[in-house]
Amino acid sequence: MLDVRTCASLAEAAGILSGDRQALLVGGGTLVMRDVNEGRLTDGTLVRVTDPALTQMSLSGARLELGAGVTMAMVLARPELAFLHGAARAIGGPAVRNMATIGGNLFAPMPYGDFTTALLALDALVVVQSGYGAGRPVPLEEFLAARERGSQGMVTALQVPRPQNPQHFHFRKISRVKPKGIAVLSIAAHLPLAGGRVAQARIAYGAMAPTPMRAKGVERALEGRALDAATLAAARQAALEGTRPETDAIASAWYRREVLPVHLARLLAGAAR
Partner 1 sequence: MAKHPVQFRLNGSDRATFVDGAENLLNTLRRGLGDFAPKYGCGQGTCGVCTVLVDGEPHLSCLTLAVACEGRHVETASGMADGPDFHPLQAAFMDHFAAQCGFCTPGMLTAARALLAKNPNPTRDEVVEAISGNICRCTGYEPIIAAILAAAGSSGARRA
Q: What share of the chain is helix, strand, coil (3-state, %, to 5)?
A: 40, 25, 40
Smallest gap from Cβ 29 to partner 1, in A, equals: 4
Smallest gap from Cβ 189 to partner 1, in A, equals: 25
Complex with partner 1: residue 128 or 184, whichever CB lies closer: 184
Q: Which residues contact 126 (CB under 8 A, 6 or more apart)?
A: 106, 137, 138, 139, 140, 143, 155, 157, 158, 159
Cis peptide before 161 (omega within 30 of 0): no
Smallest gap from Cβ 208 to partner 1, in A, equals: 22
Smallest gap from Cβ 124 to partner 1, in A, equals: 24
Complex with partner 1: residue 29 or 210, whichever CB lies closer: 29
Burial of 255 (0-12, 13-18, 19+ CB in 10 A): middle
Q: For binding to partner 1 (CB under 8 A), which residues are involved?
A: 1-4, 6, 26, 28-30, 33-34, 36-38, 46, 48, 73, 92-96, 98-99, 179-180
Contact between 161 and 122 (Cβ < 8 Å): yes
Smallest gap from Cβ 73 to partner 1, in A, equals: 7
Complex with partner 1: residue 16 or 33, whichever CB lies closer: 33
Complex with partner 1: residue 222 or 250, whichever CB lies closer: 250
Contact between 167 and 176 (Cβ < 8 Å): no
Complex with partner 1: residue 94 or 139, whichever CB lies closer: 94
